[in-house]
Structure 1
């Protein structure tokens, strides 16, 4: 059952609102989806591209941040502070130079002196973690940067739309249409959160951050002293994905193995469970299982049961076929 944190805004006519096209929020949404197992609705084509762009072992490095027991990114590791700094290269340079003692101090404070087990490797080698983490974020943004640039007109249009809504007392219309995961009722905004809390806005500014990642994007911070902010899918996002999709009739891999099997092979840039494949390709687990069986018979992938899950991975032949027909 989904759980939600709540932000109590107070009377909307008194709420100061800004819009910031903050690329760091988009970056964290992309990382959460492609590498952290937290779905943001990123298009499968881009999810595969981002997974291919990062260093080997990136998911293991990021595991503490997205652990199911407690999902948390320390403030010093977020490329969103200060929120008003929209040059991501500056943010990433600053992040790579975070002193070890700053990270350790934040972990100690965030977990009230009882740092969870999944963070122990970070505590033991904080500087190595910071360098690996910064390299992963840099690789993701290097791959996605052209898409962010293409989204410039969408972001400009959204900034104008919200500005008009604020001056014309139509802010409730904006807040009720912020994507499938964000709810607004009365004076309260609710966002999905595995560890829900209730926050009062007080006198803080509200900052809306349009995200260029996926239709299910939801990233937020309600505990800053200067502002509360939340990210949501920029309207018109689907037009970016549509423009990027290849024509299936001209895709050599699709012509050889079919569209769904081509999608499976491309998704398996890293081993996946049947469930994650089905989710990524928007089909049922039974359908994925059938097509994986055919690909396994052809020697293009292997399957192995691990506990309650069946893991699929490309064989050398499967990888060679994808590379040959995707040039």
Structure 2
């Protein structure tokens, strides 16, 4: 059990973040090796990319069992929605002594957390001999290649699902308070008596300044990244947890719905159970963006879909009325 003690000020400063690099790093953990059956197909495909591509450091650091993954591979998000380029630059700029210190922690273990040391793979040892700065630069380059091969084509849809989860939590927070919001994240996460308890095989109890909450489409269970930095200061822990509302392939519309709305419009209504943009829908349905925009406009005026803005992108999603018409749960 991991227990994070957060006072009222820390609770007020705790925040959510959507992190592309956290999703990449999560596939290097055991839950990335054995993804949840409900996960999108690209999650399992990412590990196959890792095995085939020339990514020596990432392949050696990937954990097929329990253990510790160096935290510099997945920097704590310093904003609500950092880009992958911003996060890769932070990996590249990791202080060399921190890189070597975290790799030494992997080698020597962490008795307080119940982590035993491991023999470092030869490629990692050779990279360490060239210095922490070299390791950081090589890892950043391999993460960039891994991202481009396995994640970039799927990120717009994945981010829309993660943003929708943050919006859901914001609604719970506004209507029911912070305690209920934390308790709604996952059965293995509980809030009571100023303490956030997270199910874990490790035993850790810490007072923390705040918590950064990161929803994930890769994770199959909650996880906490919490480590001291130089000087004994404690970085805010990052709490990652699996979202329940995962994007999936749309179900073909029924013949009845297709006759009522027309096959194109019915297919689009079925596809927006999760937020999606005009561009995404056009690519999935092999339609022009103008055609998709026209049909979405009809559905919008009929009250069957709603739209909201995420950055520069306009996302469409079924309304409860649209879900009832489509014969699906809200």
TM-score class, shorter: 0.5 to 0.7
Counterparts of 1:193 and 1:107, CA distance in 2: 22
- Does residue 1:22 correspond to 2:19, yes or no? yes
Aligned partner of 1:242 among 227, 238, 249? 249
Number of the residue aligned with 2:286: none
Q: Number of aligned pairs?
A: 235
User: Is the partner of 1:6 in helix, strand or coil?
Assistant: strand
Counterparts of 2:36 and 2:9, CA distance in 1: 28
User: Is the partner of 1:141 in helix, strand or coil?
Assistant: helix
TM-score (norm: length of structure 2): 0.55
Counterparts of 1:102 and 1:13, CA distance in 2: 26
Aligned partner of 1:218 among 217, 222, 226? 222
Instruction: Single out whichever of 204-213 and 58-67 deviates more from structure 2.
Output: 58-67
Unaligned runs of 5+ in 2: 111-115, 229-233, 253-330
Number of the residue aligned with 1:78: 74
Number of the residue aligned with 1:231: 240
Conserved in 2, the CA contact under 8 Å of 1:22 and 1:83? no
Quickly say closer, same or farther: Cα 1:227–1:120, change in 2 above 3 A: same
Number of the residue aligned with 1:137: 143
Number of the residue aligned with 2:153: 146
Conserved in 1, the CA contact under 8 Å of 2:109 and 2:118? no
Conserved in 2, the CA contact under 8 Å of 1:206 and 1:227? yes
Quickly say closer, same or farther: Cα 1:59–1:5, change in 2 above 3 A: farther
Counterparts of 1:11 and 1:79, CA distance in 2: 25
Quickly say closer, same or farther: Cα 1:198–1:31, change in 2 above 3 A: same
Quickly say closer, same or farther: Cα 1:243–1:29, change in 2 above 3 A: farther
Counterparts of 1:43 and 1:85, CA distance in 2: 22
CA shift at 1:50, angstroms? 1.0
CA shift at 1:141, angstroms? 2.1
Q: 1 or 2 for the larger relative contact order (CA 8 Å, sep ≥6)?
A: 1
Number of the residue aligned with 2:48: 52
Unaligned runs of 5+ in 1: 246-327
